[in-house]
């Protein structure tokens, strides 16, 4: 690990506060992550900000001091292992979990999940390791307690499956259970059941009680009964068109609804349109789409790189939580905020897009985390680093009224 005693200044040629597009939101802080601007997942825990890096820069994880969100300060960085990327971070119960996954066919590579102690939140110390085997762990969901939930490609599988990891001893996490789409196990008797040219692969699941809602790529939404974490049971699945590459399936607390994003994975105007859907789960065994959040209007798909949905702010414990307002990253269309109080007729109420960072055709806004204090942290996956955004007075009031 490397201590960062001083900030790396923003490149003079790039002013993150001038230009771009916004309504109801404004940039108040920025950091270029020490010149390694390929930020992916971001987590905020009190004054500490944790960023996983996409991988092309070679950086793995960054830790920043966000005590003043208008001037985040880089404290520590460490690189990802050779042939790997470590682009996902999760923080809870005084622990930081970081994925290790093969990156772009690299050899050798690291496959699993690292566990860090956060006694000093700005100086994580590795205390544990989960060996996934195969090609490694892609995404982690960890909000504390006994279990973490990961997508991974363990030995014997041709693509990502969903796994439950027992964290009772964080120095030695062990697998507790797994579920895969029939046909994913290379050594099994089942044959693939999905259409040619489609990819059925787990991304991650968000849980509501004993139900897990998994984004399963072209398999769409998968609903699992996880009342026995050792033996997840399939309840339902739901596919749709246009779309595919289903990414995030986020429950809206107390409403029997999900907000589901399909990740755009092609550049420009290529491929099917990917959308954000509202799904009724009042009967978890019979999920149904009730509406589509309106896509941003404009020439975004012609601006270069990806245009379409990706992540949502996931209503984590301790963060801003709402069953009515949803924050969605939209790659070159930035951050979009939807009001889904009327599930049948969602509306966009705010958006934010920075000026294009240096060295890329367009912004690629990747992830979002909203704090309980209404500071909004977003990352750019190419070169833009970390941005801090705040709502204007009207939107802040609306967020306050919609908070849980």
Region 330-342 average pLDDT: 98
Burial of 224 (0-12, 13-18, 19+ CB in 10 A): buried
Gyration radius from the chain CA atoms: 20
Residue 101 makes CB contacts below 8 A (sequence gap 6+) with: 84, 85, 86, 87, 109, 111, 135, 136, 137, 138, 152
Confidence band for 184, pLDDT divided at 50, 70 and 90: very high
HEC-encoded secondary structure of 231-259: CCEEEEEECCCCCCCEEEEEEECCCCEEE
In this structure, are residues 205 and 213 in contact, taking their beta carbons and an 8 Å threshold?
yes
CA 131 to chain centre: 22
Region 397-403 average pLDDT: 98
Region 326-346 average pLDDT: 98
With 50 as the cut, is the pLDDT of residue 8 above it?
no
Region 38-63 average pLDDT: 98
Region 150-158 average pLDDT: 97
With 60 as the cut, is the pLDDT of residue 7 above it?
no
With 90 as the cut, is the pLDDT of residue 65 above it?
yes
List pLDDT tens digits, range 243-264: 899 999 999 999 999 999 999 9
No. of helices (H) and no. of strands (E), the chain: 1, 30
Domains defined for the chain, CATH in brackets: 30-43+128-402 (2.130.10.10)
DSSP 129-178: EEE--TTEEEEEE--SSSEEEEEEE-TTBSS-EEEEEE-SSTTS-EEEEE
With 70 as the cut, is the pLDDT of residue 311 above it?
yes
Q: Beta partners for 334? A: none
Question: What proportion of the chain, given as a percentage, has pLDDT over 70?
Answer: 97
Least confident of 4-8, 73-77, 79-83: 4-8
Least confident of 39-43, 187-191, 261-265, 267-271: 187-191
Region 180-196 average pLDDT: 89
- The reply to whether omega before 242 is within 30° of 0 (cis) is yes
Region 171-191 average pLDDT: 93
Q: What is the pLDDT of residue 187?
A: 81
With 50 as the cut, is the pLDDT of residue 3 above it?
no
Distances (CA, A) of 14 to 39, 51, 68, 357, 377: 17, 21, 21, 7, 19
Nearest one of 158, 140, 159 to 149, comparing CA atoms: 140
Q: Beta partners for 2? A: 77
Token reading at 294: 């309106």
Region 336-357 average pLDDT: 98
Nearest one of 31, 40, 28, 99 to 311, comparing CA atoms: 40
Confidence band for 9, pLDDT divided at 50, 70 and 90: very low
Nearest one of 203, 172, 63 to 121, comparing CA atoms: 63
Question: What proportion of the chain, given as a percentage, has pLDDT over 90?
Answer: 95
Mean pLDDT over the full length of the chain? 96
Residue 99 makes CB contacts below 8 A (sequence gap 6+) with: 52, 86, 87, 88, 113, 136, 137, 138, 139, 140, 150
Token reading at 252: 């809206």
State whether residue 400 is helix, strand or coil. helix
With 90 as the cut, is the pLDDT of residue 188 above it?
no
Q: What is the pLDDT of residue 290?
A: 98
Q: What is the pLDDT of residue 10?
A: 44
Give residue for tokens 């006694």: 119
In this structure, are residues 288 and 331 in contact, taking their beta carbons and an 8 Å threshold?
no
With 70 as the cut, is the pLDDT of residue 237 above it?
yes
């Amino acid at each position: 690990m490397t201590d960062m005693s001083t900030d790396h200044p923003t490149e003079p040629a790039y002013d993150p506060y001038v230009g771009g597009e916004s309504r109801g939101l404004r940039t108040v802080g920025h950091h270029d992550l020490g010149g390694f601007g390929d930020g992916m997942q971001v987590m905020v825990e009190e004054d500490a900000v944790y960023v996983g890096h996409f991988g092309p820069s070679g950086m793995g994880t960054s830790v920043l001091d966000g005590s003043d969100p208008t001037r985040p300060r880089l404290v520590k960085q460490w690189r990802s292992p050779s042939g790997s990327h470590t682009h996902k971070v999760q923080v809870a119960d005084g622990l930081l979990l970081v994925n290790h996954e093969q990156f772009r066919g690299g050899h050798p590579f690291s496959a699993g999940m690292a566990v860090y102690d956060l006694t000093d939140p700005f100086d994580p110390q590795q205390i544990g390791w989960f060996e996934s085997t195969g090609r490694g762990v892609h995404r982690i969901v960890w909000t504390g307690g006994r279990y973490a939930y990961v997508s991974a490609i363990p030995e014997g599988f041709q693509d990502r499956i969903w796994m439950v990891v027992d964290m009772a001893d964080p120095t030695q996490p062990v697998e507790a259970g797994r579920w895969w789409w029939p046909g994913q196990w290379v050594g099994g008797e089942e044959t693939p059941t999905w259409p040619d040219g489609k990819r059925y692969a787990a991304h991650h699941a968000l849980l509501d009680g004993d139900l897990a809602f998994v984004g399963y790529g072209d398999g769409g939404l998968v609903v699992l009964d996880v009342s026995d974490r050792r033996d997840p049971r399939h309840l339902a699945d739901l596919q749709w068109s246009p779309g595919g590459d289903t990414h995030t399936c986020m429950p809206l607390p107390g409403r029997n609804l999900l907000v589901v994003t399909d990740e755009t994975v092609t550049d420009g105007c290529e491929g099917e349109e990917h959308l954000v859907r509202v799904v009724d789960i009042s009967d978890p065994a019979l999920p149904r789409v009730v509406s589509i959040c309106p896509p941003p209007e404009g020439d975004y798909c012609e601006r270069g790189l990806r245009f379409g949905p990706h992540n949502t702010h996931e209503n984590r414990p301790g963060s801003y939580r709402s069953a009515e307002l949803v924050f969605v990253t939209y790659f070159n269309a930035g951050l979009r905020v939807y009001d889904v109080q009327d599930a049948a007729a969602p509306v966009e109420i705010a958006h934010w897009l920075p000026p294009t960072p240096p060295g890329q055709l367009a912004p690629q806004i990747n992830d979002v985390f909203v704090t309980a204090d209404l500071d909004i942290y977003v990352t750019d996956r190419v070169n833009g680093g970390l941005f801090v955004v705040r709502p204007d007075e009207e939107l802040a009031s609306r967020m306050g009224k919609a908070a849980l």
